[in-house]
Amino acid sequence: MATPSGIPTPALYYSRVRATLIPRIAGFTMVALGPVLFVLIVLNNTPEVLFAPLVTTAAGSFIAFMTVTVKVDSQNIVIVFCDIFKRTLPKEEIATLTTDNAAGPSGYGFRYMGPGMVGYLVGGPEIKIELKNGKTVIASTDRHEQLVRVLAPPQGTPWSRLR
């Protein structure tokens, strides 16, 4: 997303949302549980399960520090989950844009939500972007009203629906 001169284009919208309280508490609990498991494994002399503290600590860190970043420039919407999963959506491919103030029962994390539907969720308000090719992307964002204003189509090119 750079101009021909190599200078990055300015962001029209930028949001980085962290996980809500419940997954953060669960993640930090798992991180704290890692050393406890390590001590118990060493005391019981069972090195064959020594991977358990590593897995618990790594998974807990991932859960506790989950983030979703949404960046909009003049041409694209870029959604990044935990700086690992990245999705670039061209703005001209948007068919429908809807928002939801409260996260539904969709869960947390990078979610496959059925054929053609993917979620990047950390809790809180969500934006649902349906593309012209029939695919749907759902992402957590903290300022969904501002995102809708930025993504609103120019006069004379209405979307099928905008809420």
Q: Does residue 2 lie within any of the structural domains?
A: no
The rounded distance, in Å, linking the Cα atoms of 65 and 19 is: 7
107 and 60 inside one domain: no
The rounded distance, in Å, linking the Cα atoms of 28 and 49 is: 21
Cβ atoms of 95 and 136 within 8 Å: the answer is: no
135 and 99 inside one domain: yes
95 and 60 inside one domain: no
157 and 99 inside one domain: yes
The enclosing H or E element of 41 equals: helix 21-43
The enclosing H or E element of 15 equals: strand 13-18
96 and 156 inside one domain: yes
Q: Does residue 124 lie within any of the structural domains?
A: yes
* pLDDT by residue, tens only, the chain of 163 residues: 555 656 666 788 888 888 888 888 999 999 999 888 888 888 888 877 888 888 899 999 988 889 999 999 888 999 999 888 899 999 999 998 888 876 655 678 888 888 999 999 888 888 999 999 999 999 998 888 888 888 876 665 555 445 4
Q: Does residue 38 lie within any of the structural domains?
A: yes
Model-level pTM greater than 0.75? yes
Q: What are residue 136's DSSP bridge partners?
A: 117, 130
Give the pLDDT confidence score for residue 28 in this predicted structure.
92
96 and 149 inside one domain: yes
HSE on the CB side for 45, CA within 13 Å?
Answer: 0
Strands 94-100, 161-162: parallel, antiparallel or unpaired by DSSP?
A: parallel
Strands 136-140, 117-121: parallel, antiparallel or unpaired by DSSP?
A: parallel
Residue 33: give the domain boundaries: 20-64
156 and 108 inside one domain: yes
Q: Does residue 143 lie within any of the structural domains?
A: yes
Count of domains observed in the chain: 2
* DSSP3 helix / strand / coil % (the chain, rounded to 5): 30, 35, 35
